[in-house]
Structure 1
Amino acid sequence: MRKTTVGAAAIASALIASLTLASGGPATAAHATASEPGPTRTSLPVLIDPAADLANDPDQANQSWYVTAHVTAGGHRYGFLAHYLNSSFGKQGGAISRVSVVNEDTGWYTKSEIALPAATGLSDKQGVDIHTDNITWTGDAKEMKLRAKVPEGSIDVTLRPHGSTLYNMGTGYFPMFGDAKYSNYEYALPTVDTSGSLTLNGRAEKVHGQSWVDRQWGPLPDLLTGSGSWSWMNLNLSNGDKVSVWNQKYGDKETNFATILKPDGTQTVAEATLTPDESTRWTSPATGKSYPTRWKVTIPGEHAKLNVTVYAKDQELTVPTPGYEGSAAVTGTYDHRPVTGNTYIELTNGQ
């Protein structure tokens, strides 16, 4: 049974652990052998269970299941996204099921977005079990099957997570917008072997690559009012580090942090800045909204200075309101050494 509400003492203990991480204290993780499928277990005092918490929790009005991938197929590099969001936004709440595919070599892009009544397509089964017209996503933390449809075809892949789980803020818990009344839980399976097929316009190609599976739940303000916004990135770096970077804005308050998962399983929480290059803004001909297409990401504790550039400018999603989910390339320096990588950048309310 999932437990998404914890006592104050447990949160305090976990936050102390997070502060220890942020100050450079030790963080250790127990490792499974290479033959064991699924994510390894940790000895950190985390507040979520990455296997059990994949399941739908009907008590949570706001829940997100999110997978992004960077793969090769037919001699090209592709990014793809599948996202199911159940939310309390608006008068009655609702759900969104969306898929996008971008050719990272040519900039070709397509998408499918469906607005649904709240909780449509969810079940009470263990693991992830989502069924909509454009997403069928089932399985557990050891293996998942994903079929995602776009107008030109479909993605049919098997997802096999392994390695360490990334626990946002070191414990899987953080107050969104720095406000305890928006207590959110988030973790990622950032190393997911991905294989299967990509079919576009009747042509099927074998797919190989890596995905990042992200799971989040917890109360939020009604974002449809425009009162809150965020920018978020999931950085996959060539040195093996996986980084979740948040920039959250609510009114005149701004919160920034990065959670860094090292190849050996240790985790660090650090200050970070995510600065858009305003001179690179792209204006959507469909909605009139504008979005930056390049950013500077700095993480002083890691001596990181990174440049993030989208592979295609037109990666806007419009349901229920305009936002951006863009596959992007990463270059720069990290720990004083050259580094490359890729990411998806998520922008809400045109941030």
Structure 2
Amino acid sequence: MKNNRRLRTITAGVAAITVLGVGSVATAQAGGGSSSTAATAGSGIPASVNPTTDVAAHTPGSGRTWNDSIYFTSEVKAGGHDFGVLVQTMRMPNQDKYSMTVSVTDEKTGWYKNYETGIAKDDYTWSTSGLNIKMPGLSWTGDAQKMFVKAATPWGSLDLQLKAEGPVMNYAGTGVWDMHGAQQYEFALPSMRTTGTLSVQGRTHKVSGESWLDRQWGPLPQSLVRWTWMNLSLPNGDKVAVWDTLGGTAENAWATVLHPDGSYDLAAVRPLADSAHRFWAGPTSGNTYPTRWRLEIPSLKTDVTVRITGTDAQEITGTLGNRLEGTAAFSGTYEGKKVSGKNYVEMVGNWSAA
């Protein structure tokens, strides 16, 4: 996993980006026009995260909302099926909350199931010295190069191997960013070759494809109203992670772009609420979520349409609260060229007032 650490911060006049890191601060601040400028920070940008060691559990912070999370989303194929898979575990030790989440979507048939359950503290283990997670129903071992994940739910199971390929993505270039006053640590392994078995609907499938793994820890701000996260893997090898967060009345929408050579672009994104439409209401939570967006990154000549695939009803209601974790697809232009592909979208909060 290489990283030559070149960072460009691009302003696009639609959002504010704050990059936090040891010895390096770069800011793209909202403006009034549509023109863009780029500033090169140069090589040797210090990172505040380390995938080799940071797959281990972290020492909890003092805040009640401090959390430690690792998850991956997969696009895998098997015998005419296109499956989207999500696996996550999160711990909020200051609230004595520990959980596991698994969801599977058959994008061709619309079949969907999810399973989220709380885990007793005494039954939950996440090593502080490496990637060794054990609990009833979930085993997650290995390291940042290769991981082995086994999960069992009432409706199916999986046994997957994830092998990292390409560079690591440190969000905002350094792996530290500000979420409305709460400092977040986050990195991704956005290209993980994925193989193994998936058992659903009474059948076991041999699957293969790619996963995007995300590792995040830190406190959630009390002012947070809603957020959207989505990932895109582009045909030219670029990986794009988008965050759009609303805290109080302040909205920050921005993207980290990782190129195949390990260099970065940071770019402002037009707020997703501006184009969100075709809303779906969760029958249990009552939350409303959009199922269509227009993702615009003007400084990167990017304008793509994103839509939920398989079924709109991919809401998870459980230990971690209500949220939509959905398989999606995108098409449009990226850097002025036509693109299309599959991705995942996470939405937390109620969009009825958007």
Q: TM-score, normalised by structure 1?
A: 0.84
Say whether the 8 Å CA contact 1:52–1:127 is kept in structure 2.
yes
Q: CA deviation at 1:210?
A: 0.2
Say whether the 8 Å CA contact 1:322–1:350 is kept in structure 2.
no
Change (3 A) 1:175 1:227: closer
Q: CA deviation at 1:97?
A: 1.1
Distance in 2 (CA, whole Å) between partners of 1:258 and 1:227 is 19
- The aligned runs of 1:5-154 (5 Å cut-off) are 11=21, 13-16=23-26, 23-25=38-40, 43-60=44-61, 61-87=66-92, 92-117=95-120, 121-154=124-157
Say whether the 8 Å CA contact 2:270–2:297 is kept in structure 1.
yes
Pick one of 286, 289, 312 that aligns with 1:288.
286
Which range moved further: 117-126 or 285-294?
A: 117-126
Pick one of 257, 281, 286 that aligns with 1:260.
257
Q: Show the counterpart of 1:341.
A: 341
Say whether the 8 Å CA contact 2:258–2:265 is kept in structure 1.
yes
CA shift digits 1:152-191 (9 cap, x unpaired) = 21111100012101111110001112x2xx1111000000
Say whether the 8 Å CA contact 1:54–1:127 is kept in structure 2.
yes
- The structure that is helix-richer by fraction is 1
Distance in 2 (CA, whole Å) between partners of 1:229 and 1:342 is 23
User: Alpha carbon RMSD of aligned pairs, Å?
Assistant: 2.1
CA shift digits 1:267-305 (9 cap, x unpaired) = 111111242455411112222221111111111121000
Q: CA deviation at 1:120?
A: 5.3
Q: CA deviation at 1:12?
A: 5.7
> SS of the counterpart of 1:105?
coil
Q: CA deviation at 1:125?
A: 4.9
Distance in 2 (CA, whole Å) between partners of 1:84 and 1:310 is 23
Corresponding pairs, count: 317
Distance in 1 (CA, whole Å) between partners of 2:312 and 2:229 is 17
Unaligned runs of 5+ in 2: 1-19, 29-36
Distance in 2 (CA, whole Å) between partners of 1:201 and 1:26 is 51
Say whether the 8 Å CA contact 2:21–2:175 is kept in structure 1.
no
Change (3 A) 1:27 1:116: farther
Unaligned runs of 5+ in 1: 1-9, 29-42
Pick one of 299, 313, 327 that aligns with 1:301.
299
Q: CA deviation at 1:231?
A: 0.7
1:235 aligns with 2:250: no
Distance in 2 (CA, whole Å) between partners of 1:323 and 1:278 is 16
Task: Among all aligned residue pairs of Structure 1 and Structure 2, give the percentage whose two residues are the same amino acid.
Answer: 36
Say whether the 8 Å CA contact 1:173–1:185 is kept in structure 2.
yes
Say whether the 8 Å CA contact 1:176–1:183 is kept in structure 2.
yes
> SS of the counterpart of 1:246?
strand
Which range moved further: 200-209 or 159-168?
A: 200-209
> SS of the counterpart of 1:204?
strand
Q: CA deviation at 1:121?
A: 1.9
CA shift digits 1:80-133 (9 cap, x unpaired) = 0001111268xx341221100000111110011102346852333533222233
Distance in 1 (CA, whole Å) between partners of 2:106 and 2:165 is 26
> SS of the counterpart of 1:281?
strand
Q: Show the counterpart of 1:4.
A: none
Which range moved further: 97-106 or 79-88?
A: 79-88
Say whether the 8 Å CA contact 2:251–2:271 is kept in structure 1.
no
Say whether the 8 Å CA contact 1:24–1:268 is kept in structure 2.
no
| Counterpart amino acid of residue 324 in structure 1 | L
Q: CA deviation at 1:137?
A: 1.0
Q: Show the counterpart of 2:7.
A: none
Say whether the 8 Å CA contact 1:112–1:149 is kept in structure 2.
no
Q: TM-score, normalised by structure 2?
A: 0.84
Q: Show the counterpart of 2:172.
A: 169
Distance in 1 (CA, whole Å) between partners of 2:104 and 2:21 is 38
Q: CA deviation at 1:263?
A: 1.8
Say whether the 8 Å CA contact 1:66–1:214 is kept in structure 2.
yes
CA shift digits 1:220-251 (9 cap, x unpaired) = 235xxx84321111111222111110111111
CA shift digits 1:54-99 (9 cap, x unpaired) = 001133441110110001012211100001111268xx34122110
User: Which has the higher relative contact order, 1 or 2, with Cα contacts under 8 A spaced 6 or more apart?
Assistant: 2
Distance in 1 (CA, whole Å) between partners of 2:42 and 2:201 is 48
> SS of the counterpart of 1:280?
strand
Q: CA deviation at 1:52?
A: 0.5
- The aligned runs of 1:313-328 (5 Å cut-off) are 313-320=312-319, 321-328=321-328
